[in-house]
């Protein structure tokens, strides 16, 4: 095996050897000496020596592989210029148009910061208490009311037989009068 390249007698200083050695090494530490490539021997932190390692011809370690580039990537890295514009002049960039959701979210944030609640964020319970909307087909509404009244009558029978009812069921029974009035209004 050959060692590092031979230097003339005038340039035998250790500093110059290290400099010449560093100039020929790659990012992975491989040094080309004559016809072969090696990773030179080095000293570990504990004081022991690592052996010199020969590298097979044609092998390129990952550290030495050049990063892939193409014209599109290089063009994206360079600063953009507007055709016909004066170099060095500021470029006006148009603000991106905001989507409907982005605009709505900004309005909601503004409303929250000002302390005003929007109608859309009102509790669901208030919406349920509103009067039911009249459907387009009165016959359909009439059938729905009759069904609810039948269910209430079945619940009353169950209660009369000594069965226990859930709170929702007792609430449904209490709405019997309202449903009867609405049914009479539809039948008129």
Task: Give me the numbers of helices (H) and strands (E) for the chain, helices first please.
Answer: 7, 5
> What per-residue confidence (pLDDT) applies to 14?
45
Higher model confidence: residue 13 or residue 93? 93
Confidence of residue 24 (pLDDT cuts 50, 70, 90): low
> What per-residue confidence (pLDDT) applies to 156?
93
Segment 31-38 shows an average pLDDT of 84
> What per-residue confidence (pLDDT) applies to 11?
45
CA 129 to centroid of chain Cα atoms: 40
Confidence of residue 93 (pLDDT cuts 50, 70, 90): low
Of 73-82, 122-131, 163-172, give the lowest mean pLDDT range. 122-131
> What per-residue confidence (pLDDT) applies to 33?
80
Segment 74-95 shows an average pLDDT of 71
* Cβ atoms of residues 186 and 145 within 8 Å: yes
Strands 31-33 and 36-39: antiparallel
Confidence of residue 47 (pLDDT cuts 50, 70, 90): very high
3-to-6, 39, 103, 135, 157 alpha-carbon distances in Å: 8, 11, 71, 98, 107
* Cβ atoms of residues 145 and 183 within 8 Å: yes
> What per-residue confidence (pLDDT) applies to 77?
76
Retrieve residue 142's tokens: 């009439």
Segment 7-36 shows an average pLDDT of 60
Judge whether residue 64 has pLDDT over 50.
Answer: yes
Task: Compute the mean pLDDT over every residue in the chain, rounded to the nearest whole number.
Answer: 77
Higher model confidence: residue 89 or residue 155? 155
* Cβ atoms of residues 62 and 53 within 8 Å: no
Retrieve residue 183's tokens: 């049914």
Is 148 strand, coil or helix?
Answer: helix
* Cβ atoms of residues 180 and 149 within 8 Å: yes
Segment 18-34 shows an average pLDDT of 67
> What per-residue confidence (pLDDT) applies to 118?
45
With residue 36 as reference, give the H or E element that holds it. strand 36-39
Higher model confidence: residue 179 or residue 124? 179
């Amino acid at each position: 095996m050959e060692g590092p390249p031979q230097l003339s007698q005038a340039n035998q200083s250790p500093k110059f050897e290290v400099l010449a050695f560093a100039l020929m090494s790659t990012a992975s530490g491989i040094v080309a000496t004559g016809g072969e490539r090696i990773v030179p021997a080095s000293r570990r932190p504990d004081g022991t020596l690592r052996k010199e390692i020969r590298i097979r011809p044609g092998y390129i370690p990952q550290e030495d592989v050049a990063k892939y580039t193409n014209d599109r990537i290089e063009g994206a890295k360079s600063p953009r210029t507007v055709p016909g514009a004066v170099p060095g002049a500021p470029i006006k960039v148009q603000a991106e148009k905001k989507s409907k959701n982005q605009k709505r979210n900004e309005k909601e944030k503004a409303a929250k910061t000002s302390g005003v609640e929007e109608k859309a964020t009102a509790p669901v319970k208030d919406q349920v208490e509103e009067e039911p909307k009249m459907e387009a087909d009165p016959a359909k509404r009439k059938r729905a009311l009759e069904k609810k009244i039948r269910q209430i009558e079945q619940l009353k029978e169950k209660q009369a037989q000594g069965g226990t009812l859930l709170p929702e069921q007792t609430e449904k029974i209490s709405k019997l009068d309202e449903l009867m009035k609405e049914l009479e209004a539809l039948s008129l």
